[in-house]
Amino acid sequence: MLLAAVLAWAVVRPFGWPEAVMAVPAAGIAVATGAIPLDHARAEAERLGPVVGFLAAVLVLAHFCAAEGLFQACGAWMARWAAGRPVRLLTAVFALASAITAVLSLDATIVLLTPVVFATAARTGVRPKPHVYACTHLSNTASLLLPVSNLTNLLAFAASGLSFTGFAALMALPWLAAIAVEYVVFRRFFARDLTAAAPAAPDTAAPPRMPLFAVVTVACTLTGFVVASAFGVDPAWVAAAGALVLAGRALARRTATPLTVVRAAAPAFLAFVLALGIVVRAVVDNGLAGVLGHVLPGGTGLPALLGVAALAAALANLINNLPAVLVLLPLAAPAGPGAVLAVLLGVNIGPNLTYAGSLATLLWRRIVHQHEHGVDLGEFTRLGLIAVPSSLAAAVVALWGSLQVL
């Protein structure tokens, strides 16, 4: 009941209040009533601590990349390259959203790229729907590549025992396969929108400059992830260093205040993640792990990986992908990294089926409504019913192939 209340609040967000308003008291109730012993709650908070710290650093990094003008420059590049042609714009959005999701996490794609895509569509005179929908699908699907691309990835990375480069090597082919299938589905599903374009006024504005400092900082941060992994250093420290560089520059130039940095880290959302983890641990301790343990396929053969991914996708749509990965990882980890990564495929791709599948999709929906662009639930679901099974199957087959080779 507590988990259902937390998830319902996250979906509806009454009065615009943050998710933590329900999650933190729910975690307190779970501990106070004995649903989870205090030492278990403390252990869960300690396990999630580095993940939450990393998430805070990446949010700050993405915020100051946007403040430096990185996303505006990317939007100008998309507009110039598309030249008013919807299919070319869709291709550009796929390429850019995939790269941003992989490097700066899915939150950057949802919060920072989606408004830029709206503006770019208006600037080029094309219908925004296919390109805006691409942002939400790719924020989930394209977050497979690196441990830093998604909060679920960080949890899976810790459970897999892989190095940073080993994780990326195994997930590269599934990442490409899932994105390619999504692209084909979008081309067919939005064929009518992609053949209609209103004439756009000629763009005479000078293109914004590419913020070299931000680009170099992000590149150095990515390099730092690889080096830190080789020496067993937690990636949260590297992300914090990158965030400190960009935030420190803004503070030194007085274009930001310490309060700006704190707000960029989204402390209420971080509290929600910690509290949700404690509530989910209570559910796991009180029987859910036993139930799922009987239905989770064993082994790392192709049928088993398909079954694990399908179960993870279904659970993500029932209870949201973050609780789903918290529940399934301890059950999958004994089978090895293949099973862990199959869980990740399910909880990352599966949420494209429903609004409630991931927090990123819920956030995307709010952003779209702010731009006075309606989202049809039936259309969203039909697109998901086509894209999710096909892209998930392709990604699992690609993962199985990568496991055989690597």
Does residue 21 belong to any structural domain of this protein?
A: no
Does residue 308 belong to any structural domain of this protein?
A: yes
Does residue 4 belong to any structural domain of this protein?
A: no
pLDDT at 204: 53
Does residue 322 belong to any structural domain of this protein?
A: yes
pLDDT at 286: 87
3-state SS, one letter per residue, for 34-57: CCCCHHHHHHHHHHHHHHHHHHHH
Largest CA distance in the chain: 65
pLDDT at 197: 55
Task: Look at the chain and report how many structural domains it folds into.
Answer: 1
- Could you tell me how far CA 85 lies from the centroid of its own chain? 28
3-state SS, one letter per residue, for 302-331: HHHHHHHHHHHHHHHHHHCHHHHHHHHHHH
Residues 6+ away with beta carbon under 8 Å from 230: 163, 164, 165
Does residue 272 belong to any structural domain of this protein?
A: yes
pLDDT at 134: 95
pLDDT at 127: 87
Distance of alpha carbon 180 from alpha carbon 393, whole angstroms = 12
Grouping H, G, I as helix, E, B as strand and the rest as coil, residue 339 is helix
Does residue 254 belong to any structural domain of this protein?
A: yes
pTM here is 0.83
Report the Cα–Cα distance between both ends of the chain, in Å, rounded: 43
Does residue 13 belong to any structural domain of this protein?
A: no
Distance of alpha carbon 393 from alpha carbon 337, whole angstroms = 18
Report residue 231: phi and psi, to 5°.
-105, 10
* Structural domain containing residue 352: 37-196+207-405
Residues 6+ away with beta carbon under 8 Å from 297: 303, 304, 307, 308, 311
Distance of alpha carbon 393 from alpha carbon 163, whole angstroms = 25
Residue 9 and residue 22 in contact, taking contact as beta carbons nearer than 8 Å: yes
Look at the chain and count its residues. Answer: 406
State the burial class of residue 285 (Cβ atoms within 10 Å of its Cβ: 0-12, 13-18, 19+): middle
Which residue numbers in the chain have pLDDT < 50? none
Does residue 26 belong to any structural domain of this protein?
A: no
